[in-house]
Structure 1
């Protein structure tokens, strides 16, 4: 598929959302649109897989009679294979295309076009087909946010049905081209939609989406020098977009791990993985509070990335002082700001040969107290901090604050210094947000990889200098971006002032004459 065709697909999908826009908030109709796209994907994937199995018999999956003994034999054999390989199963009558056709049928043709009950049953059946299998955890309650009984869809059952049918019929017109092995068009279009919904969701967008430009920077940082990854982990994985972005920077990622606290966003992440053709055995996403209830404590990862909620609150419970993730530091991050708690958690999971990149608010670079203590320990005692990168303000949804990226390695190639990059002035202003261009991203990554000082952009600070600054990492201390103003020509300024005075005197005389002619008193 060409870029033009891809853009048309993205635009078409976004236009379909118009059916729900105005009826409910963006983050609500997001769940319906993305949920139905996912259902269509599962249907088309299953249909192609079943037909590949049936090809030797010259049978089309849709032609199977579900009520006959022979038909059921076929279905049982396909189901056993499909659940093992794909993780789920659908009958021919449960496929998206068939449900859309039933919904579009005219009532005078003799069949009811009411599909809501049928659709609810089918979505439940997808989940039930995985019960007791390896894929159960990846499909359980996956469609729980797709509430077909919501009054927001319409006041009456008929009105709800008409709206859902309209969406299914429109989606059914799209060819997802799943038979093209190298096609990731649907996954990219899905990502596009998630980004569009994020743009319309305001502050809530930060809960599930990291701007693509920032994801690209993090992904390129943790894959520097690597072509394959054994594992990648995101402790605040949102919609899973950051994990998937890492996979675009290497030939292969063997396993994806993530944790997400919000249930709806967790469902979105699982769908996103499957839509990008990540096999259910290759990803392990969990739904829980990462700091309070970590789910992968025994695992160590080759790449760790995250865009955690900025300065979020956490319990900072005394019990965590003996937790292996935090105990070595001697201090817990303050309960009012969990930024360093996330850093400590991530470093605990980082393998010795791994790389880690995390987006944080600028305060982590210079705040004192417990945070200052942890920062000093990371540099002086462990020497794991590899680079500090300042990003522009106003590039995230829902907040305009400037942010930074901290890069960590447990086995550093340059143990005697820390690289500072100030990219805060390198962006393009767009409407309500600033945007990192391709050249801005390239500049950051090239500078990181070359690791050389560049005027007004980067500086390689010896650890001794960091210590002299009392482990304060505020970027302006290390990268001088001061622009010297042009010298003022005082003689020219004096001449301009004299010219202004002469012009003022002429204007005053003209006003005085006008007032005299009118017989009124001139202003003083």
Structure 2
């Protein structure tokens, strides 16, 4: 930003204004200069007529039902004079003022969010040829509206009055005219015509994330937008955009939404596939919105005029470069856009059928379908072996929650992720749980999950990829925590032993498969259905013997490392000469 403009913002600190007053005063000051360029501001200030100008602005917005904070601070005169001097000297311009408003908005409220320029360019690029009229609902979509207003009929709708004002003032400063509505797009949409919702060629938005509404039945929607009984914002936001669009919808969504499959979300995804509306899903770099938002996001592209059944999954997660230690920016926008035209699976794009998505329980996460070069090489290596599903060689047991009862007389030991070292051995760390009932009683809840020697523990929540092998039990009555799934090799199984299973799951081949089937953006997890279908190689007896030898060698080397570490600790902690 212009250094002089930064200096102006710093000078605001000398005026006793609260956060909302400060932003309002800044917007009104900039707007007064824009609307009264031909006036002599010096005479206005010296004759005390400037207050009437502020009052006129308040009256203008009041007629629209928009409240703007009144400005009555006597210290504003000198600030305005300095601002006008810089403007008339061409030191600052209206673009600088618009940027200052956005900066002040973020400074006032860290929860406020302005779309990065690169993400705006990417989203708008997918509207090419379908941008005659564009609808931009929800607070953070004003950035799209500004850029599209130069050549499209644009309408922006937000229920946030402050964001409405920011959008309105910025648009006046930048001479980008578009329609603005201060109303809730979900509960009280106001962008209507001829007795119905106005239909646009396309819609583009960055809807709010993590929002929940009353169920669609309780919203009293008179427009018939929400067939699914869902209260999650992701479904309602996309349904609303579809209702106001004839062709294409481009939306940024939380990555976690893609993998979720609650009743309403699953039905929504089924509907998209049935109608052939789902055109593409694009994964974006992790933390692309840092430091403003911590959520990982993806893009979803819908097209209501498609007849093709296939869906494109595009991996743009590596398209970034560092701006600062905490910030990154999106790069390779043209490359990402061109991938949408691909008709074959290759590199960063996978062309997937509806049947494949259905088989994956309507999980739309890009890593489910697009494999990195390393992952493709590992998959080719895996296919050299005779393979079977994990459920065919083990019994999978999901541990249940067992609460410790204060005053309970019976003890259980629970082991968790932290109970295993780097080579999957029990390290002595555990938790004691007390029970009132005797856990040995077969009717008790805990008795169904007692660990047995040679059980393989697979981390299915949180630390995906961590594997434990139960070679020693800390106590006769030991259970696994809920972060694990217990894999108990079935008796008389050929081609798999507990040791060979552990070795495989801990290897690159096994770990890559586990990473690929994980879901969830905030807390990763693996569905038991996916775990059951995990491909496991069947080994010859010679290979099984080699696995035992390898395990013994790993343990021996680990013991040597532990002894060396103990010696090092003794030298550094117990001696100083």
TM-score interval (norm. to shorter): 0.5 to 0.7
1:231 is matched with 133
1:122 aligns with 2:122: no
Corresponding residue of 1:443: 335
Contact 1:239 1:272 in 2 (8 A): no
Picking from 215, 222, 239, the partner of 1:316 is: 215
> 1:428 aligned to 321, 340, 362, which one?
321
Q: Name the counterpart of 2:308.
A: 415
**Structure 1 residues 100-249: aligned runs within 5 Å:** 100-103=42-45, 113=46, 115=48, 118-125=49-56, 140=64, 144-145=67-68, 147-149=70-72, 157=74, 159-174=75-90, 186-187=94-95, 189-197=96-104, 200-201=107-108, 203-206=110-113, 209-223=114-128, 225=129, 229-238=131-140, 240-247=142-149
Quote the offset at 1:24 in angstroms. 5.2
**1:376 pairs with 247, 269, 273, which one?**
269
RMSD: 3.9
| Partner Cα separation in structure 1 for residue 9 and residue 189 of structure 2 | 36
The gaps in structure 2 that reach 5 residues or longer are 379-506, 509-549
| Residues in 1 aligned to 2:310 and 2:112: alpha-carbon distance in whole angstroms | 36
Once residues 317 and 109 of structure 2 are traced to their aligned partners in structure 1, the CA distance between those partners, rounded to angstroms, is 22
- Are the counterparts in 2 of residues 340 and 374 from structure 1 also a CA contact under 8 Å? no
User: What SS does the corresponding residue of 1:347 show, helix, strand or coil?
Assistant: helix
Tell me how far apart the structure 2 counterparts of residues 37 and 359 of structure 1 sit (CA, whole Å). Answer: 31
**Aligned residue among 287, 293, 297 for 1:403:** 297
Inter-CA distance 101–304: structure 2 relative to 1 (3 Å threshold): same
Change (3 A) 1:376 1:140: closer
1:29 aligns with 2:36: no
Work out the CA distance in 1 between the residues paired with 2:141 and 2:47: 32
Q: Alignment partner of 1:357: what SS?
A: strand
Alpha-carbon deviation of 1:470? 2.3
Q: Does the 8 Å contact 1:199/1:205 carry over to 2?
A: yes
How far apart, CA to CA, are the structure 2 residues paired with 1:363 and 1:262?
Answer: 25
1 CA distance for matches of 2:7 and 2:43? 21
Q: 1:262 to 1:320 in 2, by over 3 A?
A: closer
2:379 counterpart of 1:472: no
d(CA) in 1 for partners of 2:100, 2:346: 38
Residue 446 of structure 1 deviates from its aligned partner by 2.1
Equivalent pair of 2:255/2:296 in contact (CA under 8 Å): yes
- 1:321 is displaced (CA, Å) by 6.8
Q: Which deviations, in whole Å up to 9, do the C-alpha atoms of 1:228-248 show, x marking residues without a partner?
A: x33111111447221122346
Q: Could you tell me which residue of structure 2 aligns to residue 12 of structure 1? A: 4
- Displacement of 1:29 in angstroms is 3.0
Higher relative CO (Cα under 8 Å, sequence separation at least 6) belongs to: 1
Q: Distance in 1 between matches of 2:343 and 2:80?
A: 55
Between the aligned partners of 1:322 and 1:262, the Cα distance in structure 2 is: 20
Query: How far 1:216 sits from its partner (Å)?
Result: 1.4
Q: SS state of the match for residue 213, structure 2?
A: coil
Q: What's the TM-score, normalizing by structure 2? A: 0.59
Greater strand fraction, Structure 1 or Structure 2: 2
Deviation at 1:480, TM superposition (A): 1.2
Would the aligned equivalents of 2:144 and 2:204 in 1 still touch at CA under 8 Å? Answer: yes
Q: Distance in 2 between matches of 1:347 and 1:25?
A: 40
The count of residues paired between Structure 1 and Structure 2 equals 391
Which of 190, 210, 234 is matched with 1:295 structurally? 190
More helix by share: 1
Compared CA separation, residues 174 and 314, structure 1 to 2 (3 A): farther
Q: Indicate if the aligned counterparts of 2:23 and 2:105 stay in contact, CA closer than 8 A.
A: no
| Alignment counterpart, residue 167 of structure 2, candidates 269, 274, 280 | 269
**1:25-64 superposed matches below 5 A:** 28-44=21-37, 47=38
Contact kept? 2:135, 2:202, Cα under 8 Å: yes
How has the CA–CA distance of structure 1 residues 35 and 147 changed in structure 2, closer, same or farther, with 3 Å as cutoff? Answer: same
Q: Show CA shifts across 1:223-276 (max 9, x none).
A: 2x45xx33111111447221122346xxx21x2212111112111112222233
The alpha-carbon distance between structure 1 residues 233 and 140, as it changes in their structure 2 partners (threshold 3 A), is same
**Residues 124, 230 of structure 1: CA spacing in aligned structure 2 closer, same or farther, 3 A cutoff?**
farther
CA contact (8 A) 1:259 1:290 kept: yes
What's the offset of the Cα at 1:290?
1.5
Is the 2:159–2:182 Cα contact (8 Å) retained in structure 1?
Answer: yes
Say if 1:476 and 1:196 are closer, same or farther in 2 by CA, change over 3 A: same
Structure 1-normalised TM-score? Answer: 0.65
For each residue in 1:176-216, what CA deviation from the matched residue of structure 2 results, as whole angstroms up to 9, or x when unmatched? Answer: 7xxxxxxxx734x345334433553563222xx22222211
How far apart in 1 are the matches of 2:71 and 2:221? 47
Q: Contact conserved, 2:285 with 2:317, CA < 8 A, in 1? A: yes
SS at match of 1:419: strand
CA 1:417 to 1:191, structure 2 compared with 1: closer, same or farther past 3 Å? farther
For the 8 Å contact 1:365–1:474, the answer to whether it is kept is: yes
1:33-55 per-residue CA deviation (whole Å, 9 max, x = no partner) reads 333222212223xx4xxxxxxxx
1:121-143: per-residue Cα shift (whole Å, max 9, x none)?
Answer: 12333576x7xxxxx89x8477x
